[in-house]
Amino acid sequence: MSAIKDLLRGRKDQTFRPKKKFEDGSGHSSLHKYAKASLKAGLDFSELVKLPPGEDKNDWMAVHVVDFFNRVNLIYGVISEYCTVTSCPKMSGGAKFEYFWADETNKKPVALPAPEYMNNLMDWIESKINNVKEFPTTTNVPFPKHFPALCKKILTRLNRVFIHVYIHHFEPIVSLGSEAHVNQCYKHFVYFVTEFQLVDYKEFEPLAKVTDQLCPRRIAMLKDNK
């Protein structure tokens, strides 16, 4: 992702959110470093996403949720100036798909312009990953029972950001020469969420052809396991 980082260097106004980090010395920090080292080593994505021997699945999900949150923030920061109320009056994934916003405070789903949806989404995810009761930062604090469901909800919504970027804003990504880096990030995301069944098959429908080209047979795993 260095090319995207280079684009944002010195352009802090386009960094959508500050990076969430794990405390040094925590079990999560060690797992995060392991995952990053494996990615840099160029391992096959199907092997990269597998749970390391002896590690806790919730810990593995936690470090990936935070990592994907940071990466999606970075990607959206690159194209945020092109995603406006005028250009994107709906949070959509093409003509057939529109995403409505709801959370614990506003339980009735509402239609929002894409930039407002994005702001609400990132605020909501930050509130979750910064809440130690829902997202423990050390291995001696147990994960809540609903943690896998929370991860699934976060990752499902981040998938919708990928969909919106690919369908509505990929031209700026290409013009900036960053398509290979976005593709790599999306491939990592798809391999991870399909490995642990964290995004439903139907959620990939708007971007099914692109996803199948980048990650052959991965989303089919979700259909096979329905």
Q: Which is more confident, 82 or 39? A: 82
CB contact at 8 A, 139 and 179: no
- Kindly tell me if the per-residue pLDDT of 11 is higher than 50: no
Q: Mean pLDDT score of the chain, rounded to an integer?
A: 83
Q: For the chain, give the percent of residues with pLDDT over 90.
A: 63
> What are the pLDDT digits (tens) for 114-128?
999 999 999 999 999
pLDDT of residue 137: 75
Q: Map out the domains of the chain as residue ranges.
A: 2-224
> What are the pLDDT digits (tens) for 42-86?
568 999 999 999 989 999 999 999 999 999 999 999 899 999 999
- Kindly tell me if the per-residue pLDDT of 35 is higher than 60: no
Confidence band, pLDDT 50/70/90 cuts, at residue 154: very high
Confidence band, pLDDT 50/70/90 cuts, at residue 16: very low
Buried b (16+ CB within 10 A) or exposed e, 124-143: bbeebbeeeeebbbeeeeeb
Mean pLDDT of all residues in 216-221: 90
What is the Cα–Cα distance from 56 to 224, expressed in whole angstroms? 25
Confidence band, pLDDT 50/70/90 cuts, at residue 177: confident
Lowest mean pLDDT across 33-47, 89-103, 182-196: 33-47
Confidence band, pLDDT 50/70/90 cuts, at residue 138: confident
Q: Write down the pTM of the prediction.
A: 0.83
Lowest mean pLDDT across 11-25, 138-152, 159-173, 205-219: 11-25
User: Residue holding tokens 């239609």?
Assistant: 111
Mean pLDDT of all residues in 173-190: 91
54 φψ region: left (φ > 0), alpha (ψ -120 to 50), beta (else): left
C-alpha dist (Å) from residue 36 to 6, 52, 67, 174, 201? 19, 13, 9, 25, 27
Number of other residues whose CB lies within 10 A of the CB of residue 101: 19
pLDDT of residue 5: 43
| CATH number for the segment(s) 2-224 | 1.20.140.30
Q: Of the candidates 60, 76, 51, 49, which has an alpha carbon nearest to the alpha carbon of residue 189?
A: 49
Confidence band, pLDDT 50/70/90 cuts, at residue 106: confident
Number of other residues whose CB lies within 10 A of the CB of residue 15: 17
